[in-house]
Structure 1
Amino acid sequence: MNIEMTNIHKSFGTNRVLAGVDFDLREGEVHALMGENGAGKSTLMNILTGLHGRDEGKIVVDGQETYFANPKEAEERGVAFIHQELNIWPEMTVLDNLFIGKELTSGIGFLNMKQMKALAKEQFRKLAVTIPLTQEAGLCSVGQQQMIEIAKALMTQAKVIIMDEPTAALTEREIEKLFDVIRSLKKEGVSIVYISHRMEEIFTICDRITVMRDGKSVDTQAIPDTSFDEVVKKMVGRELTERYPARQPSPGETVLEVKNTSGKGRFENVSFSVRAGEIVGVSGLMGAGRTEMMRAIFGLDPLDSGEVWVRGKKVSIRKPDDAVKHGIGFITEDRKDEGLVLDFSVRENMALPNLFSFSSRGFISGKKEQDFVDTLTKRLQIKTHSSETQARNLSGGNQQKVVIAKWIGIGPSVLILDEPTRGVDVGAKREIYQLMNELTERGVAILMVSSELPEVLGMSDRILVVHEGRISGELDHEQATQEQIMTLATGGQ
């Protein structure tokens, strides 16, 4: 399928999102779409698939001017969209999620469970996925849910698949498997629109790249004809001299110490410490127990045994309120369901953990609250029409910045960051890294869980590697390599 989008414009009220975008897709190619958060990438694809109407411009599909009425019609015509924010029904089984709205029936109208299970198992086999089909989807990890969404799209026999940050929650092994599937689809003539902020992936799997900035298409190039630095400059309108800002750590006293902690069936006999002004990276394969450890420390899940010490004092953390009182903040990897109240405004989300700071005798000072929100919005360069904009209307990267802002506001002694730059563009990533450096300079201790090995190596002073619920090794920044981390993450020595 060949698609050509010309001079596409789109505004939401007074907010102009697209201001003349050109984009074309050829049969059997992987075409990268890159730009900072809020550049308009997802909006452009939502217009293609009929979720939004365009204000101006033309769309031609296989030589015919074509406008889909809605995403269902687009899918029926062979255009599938795997969204960054997952479309999972948590209380339904994995099998039900795969076939929702596309159930297979027998000749007399009953569900053909045997055929659906066979098709699902075959697709999971191709993706090397081992999730039980009878499991509730809500019990799956974010990475597993991502693989379910990918499998669902592949089962539609689509001619065009739009992938919006498809690897954000996947492990290196799962990413390689996905790339194998993409290469197979290319050979079959399937076209892929690949939206990602991971530059290494773009240069590994894509044929061409279109860069967007401020609602406009800046340039389209064949991948061999461009470079990392050139793409970044086009995206952000300036050069980023270093991908990871230099760190000069000078760790102080031990702020957080975890002793012999276990969570039944999740992790066992885990001990580590973090000092003031230090970034400790936590690496490992998906399902190894990294997130589960952090959730238990923060009181979201129970600790079955072990101790947590803050500044030399043993503390009891049974719920998140306890953690916050002891100066611990937690930026969750699942910003949509756990990090934000999507129907609340930017202001309300930022202020939520900090209301005590603006309150006096039970009353909230609106001015103090607004000053706080304005300061953090400016500091983190959050792109929003106003502080009263609902969080659900922000781009994924700007949603992530709001989550970070609300926890910075409590003035934490310890900040746990679980996949802090997931779905965030290269310019915003650097802003987050610089913010991490500023926080450590003020003495904040940071625990950073990340699936991106370059990020772990680029930002950590020490690295803890997790394998099957245990810490399999600890590496200093100077000695750590990707090979060493992967060896420890897979159970090697």
Structure 2
Amino acid sequence: MTDTILEMRGITKTFPGVKALENVNLKVRRGDIHAICGENGAGKSTLMKVLSGVYPFGSYDGDVRYEGNECRFHGIHDSEKVGIVIIHQELALVPMLSIAENMFLGNEQASAGVIDWNRTKRRASELLRKVGLREDPDTLITNIGTGKQQLVEIAKALAKDVKLLILDEPTASLSEKDSQALLDLLLEFKTQGLTSIMISHKLNEIKRIADRITVIRDGQSIETMDKADITEDRIVTSMVGRTLENRYPSRTPKIGETIFEVKNWSVYHPQHPERQVIKGINLHVKKGEVVGIAGLMGAGRTEFAMSVFGRSYGINVTGEVFLHGKPADTSTVHRAVASGLAYATEDRKVYGLNLIDHIKHNVTIANLPGVSKSGVIDDMDELKVANEYRRKTNIRSSSVYQITGNLSGGNQQKVVLSKWLFANPDVLILDEPTRGIDVGAKYEIYTIINRLAGEGKGILVISSEMPELLGICDRIYVLNEGRIVGELAGHEASQEKIMRAIVRGEEKAAS
């Protein structure tokens, strides 16, 4: 008989007006890596918050049994005491504290109320080595990359004598290299007997490391499958309740004249003025064309987009921007928008949305004159516009008065798109438009992109997912270390050709 470390039975969780979970069942075997899949808003994170005590006993119905005992956690400290540790998608690290301080925050290595810093740093070094880091424990969190921060979170969990590790979208913000390193670490922990639950949208990662998968849809557990039965098609069908014959909706391009052009664009780092981040980029986008920018993390893709859009990044910016063949002033965000340019940021939570405000205000914020008369906002007109774009982009919400921060990631992304669609740009730059959202929501985003291209807009897509660029783009630029090192027609492009262009670019830069 297989040893079961965790069993959740009949879990039901209700928020005002919404049933987030309904009779969900989950059984996790000791020593397994158990994946949980589902669309955004399906209830995955809610279930894990019930398990970890974020939602305390009494706020939900159902039973949680851990190591054979009934659990009645009233807070996260209760679950951590028995070895259940959750790492949320939004990392809970304090940027201006050191690695060691972060690792033992709330779990201080103290005697008689006085922190023993020698013991703290010694223990921190031991745990950092376990996760493959050689950083000095005194290094500030702000001075290490996202991939290393994720490993610090895991080391922090190990410091709490973790037996069941829960990871919520652990690779969502990581490069391919950092993602693989993290997955390898989880597999290594498995050999040491650690049980893990991983929430992820990345089906290739799940197939690689998961022993079992539970699929949740619309707040209900649909099925649990063993490793031998796992296929991407089966997961997708369970997640969305239908088959997705093609991950990328078909489109017949109708490409016109050049609508957007950037010439000899150069940008220097805002904190290190001697360092050139963008080095003489030339690119163009035609009417009705979807153009991709591929490249590894740190290639300069986001820096390029932000610098073009109102000089939002960098100093000593030089070069020219043309819209419809005429010079365009994009020196401020306001002027860039007025010129017909829009930029949907990769960080929707920080730069893309006002999370504490409702959908209606977020949709209209980039084009307030469009809902105003004599400088005064017409509330009914704004309501009409918000409802129209809610319908157009299929934002799933109770109404346009729902707080944006309470929406799933995919629906938040649709609000970002709605905001810029209402601004009616000629050129839309989409930076990681499907990051952290599920396959069903991705398909809807691709459909919106296709519709915009069909209306004659120029679309520039930045993505770390090469299959995504290959699936939706008519043409792809390859960026490496701030330079364009390749340009490929969509029908000729492949992951191998993109990587070859990057490697050739690195060789040229080194010579």
* Interval of TM-score (by shorter of Structure 1 and Structure 2): over 0.9
Say if 1:81 and 1:462 are closer, same or farther in 2 by CA, change over 3 A: same
Which of 288, 292, 313 lines up with 1:301 in the alignment?
A: 313
Which AA in structure 2 matches 1:32? Answer: A
The Cα shift of 1:108 comes to 8.9
User: Aligned equivalents of 2:449 and 2:343: distance in 1?
Assistant: 14
| Contact in 2 for aligned 1:146/1:169 (Cα 8 Å) | no
SS at structure 2 position matched to 1:407 = helix
Q: 2:66 aligns with which of 39, 46, 61?
A: 61
Query: Which residue of structure 2 lines up, in the alignment, with residue 38 of structure 1?
Result: 41
Percent identity of equivalent pairs: 41
Aligned to 1:277: 288
1:432 match: secondary structure: helix
Give CA-to-partner distance per residue, 1:301-348, whole Å, 9 cap, x none. 135222222222222323221211111111111111111111111111
Larger radius of gyration: 2
Structure 2: distance between partners of 1:400 and 1:127: 34
Moved more, 329-338 or 467-476: 467-476
Using structure 2 for the length normalisation, give the TM-score.
0.90
Amino acid at match of 1:45: M
Change (3 A) 1:56 1:475: same
Sort the Cα spacing of 1:92 and 1:297 in 2 relative to 1 into closer, same or farther, 3 A: farther
Q: 1:2 maps to which residue? A: 5
- 1:125 to partner: Cα distance: 8.1
* Contact 1:244 1:430 (8 Å CA) reproduced: yes
CA displacement 1:345-373 (0-9 Å, x = unmatched): 11111121121110010121222211211
Q: Is the 8 A contact 1:32 1:195 kept in 2?
A: yes
**Any unmatched runs of 5+ in structure 2?**
269-274
1:154-196 per-residue CA deviation (whole Å, 9 max, x = no partner) reads 5544211211111111111111111110110111111111111
Q: Find the residue that maps to 1:169 and give its secondary structure.
A: coil
* Counterpart Cα distance in 1 of 2:483 and 2:129: 28
- Secondary structure of 2:184's match? helix
User: Are residues 146 and 436 of structure 1, via their aligned partners in 2, closer, same or farther at CA, if it must alter by over 3 Å?
Assistant: farther
Contact 1:413 1:444 in 2 (8 A): yes
Mark the CA change 1:133 to 1:274 in structure 2 (over 3 Å): closer, same or farther. Answer: farther
In the superposition, relative to structure 1, how do residues 156 and 397 fare at CA in structure 2: closer, same or farther (>3 Å)? Answer: farther
What are the superposed Cα offsets for residues 123-178 of structure 1, whole Å, 9 maximum, x if unpaired?
278446879963462x7665565454445435544211211111111111111111
- Residues 58-83 of structure 1: per-residue CA shift (max 9 Å, x gap): 00000000122212332232222121
Query: What corresponds to 1:236 in structure 2?
Result: 240
Contact in 2 for aligned 1:170/1:451 (Cα 8 Å): no
Indicate yes or no: 2:493 matched with 1:489: no
**Structure 2 contact 291–477 (Cα < 8 Å) conserved:** yes
Deviation at 1:110, TM superposition (A): 4.6
Question: Would the alpha carbon gap of residues 374 and 68 (structure 1) be closer, same or farther in structure 2, given more than 3 Å must change?
Answer: same
Instruction: Provide closer, same or farther for how the CA distance between residues 106 and 376 of structure 1 changes in structure 2, counting only shifts above 3 A.
Output: same
Separation in structure 2 between the aligned mates of residue 111 and residue 337 of structure 1, nearest angstrom: 36
Aligned letter for 2:66? V
Whole-angstrom CA distance in 2 between matches of 1:40 and 1:203? 21
Q: Is the 8 A contact 2:100 2:120 kept in 1?
A: no
Unaligned runs of 5+ in 1: none
- Structure 1: distance between partners of 2:238 and 2:208: 19
TM-score (normalizing by structure 1): 0.93
> What are the residue-to-residue correspondences of 1:90-129 with 2, within 5 Å?
90-105=95-110, 109-110=114-115, 112=117, 115-116=120-121, 119=124, 123=128, 126-127=131-132
Q: 1:268 aligns with which of 269, 273, 279?
A: 279
1:411 pairs, out of 405, 421, 424, with: 424
Q: CA deviation at 1:88?
A: 3.7
The aligned counterpart of 1:14 is: 17
Q: In the alignment, is the contact (CA less than 8 A) between 2:93 and 2:141 conserved in 1?
A: no
Is this contact kept in 2: 1:463–1:474, CA < 8 A?
yes
Partner of 1:441: 454
What is the match of residue 271 of structure 2? none
Deviates more, 1:295-304 or 1:343-352: 295-304
Query: Which residue of 282, 303, 327 maps to 1:292?
Result: 303
Residues in 2 aligned to 1:355 and 1:185: alpha-carbon distance in whole angstroms = 52
Distance 1:263 1:281, change over 3 A: same
CA separation of 1:208 and 1:262: change in aligned 2, threshold 3 A: same
Please, which moves more after superposition, 468-477 or 113-122?
113-122
Q: Which amino acid aligns with 2:327?
A: K
Structure 1 residue 245: Cα displacement: 1.2
Number of the residue aligned with 2:84: 79
2:331, 2:92 → 1: CA distance?
A: 31
Distance change (3 Å), C-alpha of 1:445 and 1:145: farther
Flag the structure with more relative contact order, 1 or 2, with Cα contacts below 8 A and sequence separation at least 6: 1
Contact 2:287–2:453, Cα closer than 8 Å, also in 1: yes
Q: What amino acid does structure 1 have at the position aligned with 2:83?
A: G
**1:195 maps to 2:202:** no
Aligned partner of residue 280 in structure 2, secondary structure? strand
Q: Secondary structure at the match of 1:464?
A: strand
CA distance in 2 between counterparts of 1:466 and 1:221 reads 40
Q: Is the 8 A contact 1:257 1:274 kept in 2?
A: yes
In structure 1, distance between residues paired with 2:336 and 2:99: 34
Q: Are the counterparts in 2 of residues 48 and 67 from structure 1 also a CA contact under 8 Å? A: no
Rounded to whole Å, the distance in 1 between the matches of 2:288 and 2:135 is: 40
Query: Which of the numbers 156, 163, 166 marks the counterpart of 1:162?
Result: 166
Asked if the contact 2:127/2:158 (under 8 Å) is kept, the reply is no
Change (3 A) 1:173 1:396: same
Matched, 1:458 2:458: no
- Give a deviation string over 1:205-250, Cα, whole Å, max 9, x none: 1111111111110111113214222222221122212111123223
For 1:366-399, what per-residue CA distance to the aligned partner results, in whole angstroms no more than 9, with x for missing partners?
A: 2221121112222222222222121121222222
Matched-pair contact (CA < 8 Å) for 1:128–1:177 = no
Q: Equivalents in 1 of 2:20, 2:105: separation in Å?
A: 32
SS of match in other structure, 2:477? strand
CA offsets 1:43-65 (integer angstroms, 9 cap, x no match): 00000001113421000000000
> The residue matched to 2:45 in structure 1 has which SS?
helix
Post-superposition shift, 1:298?
0.9
**Aligned equivalent of 2:367, options 354, 363, 378:** 354
Secondary structure (helix, strand or coil) at the match of 1:423 reads coil
Once the two structures are overlaid, the 10-residue window that deviates more, 435-444 or 187-196, is 187-196
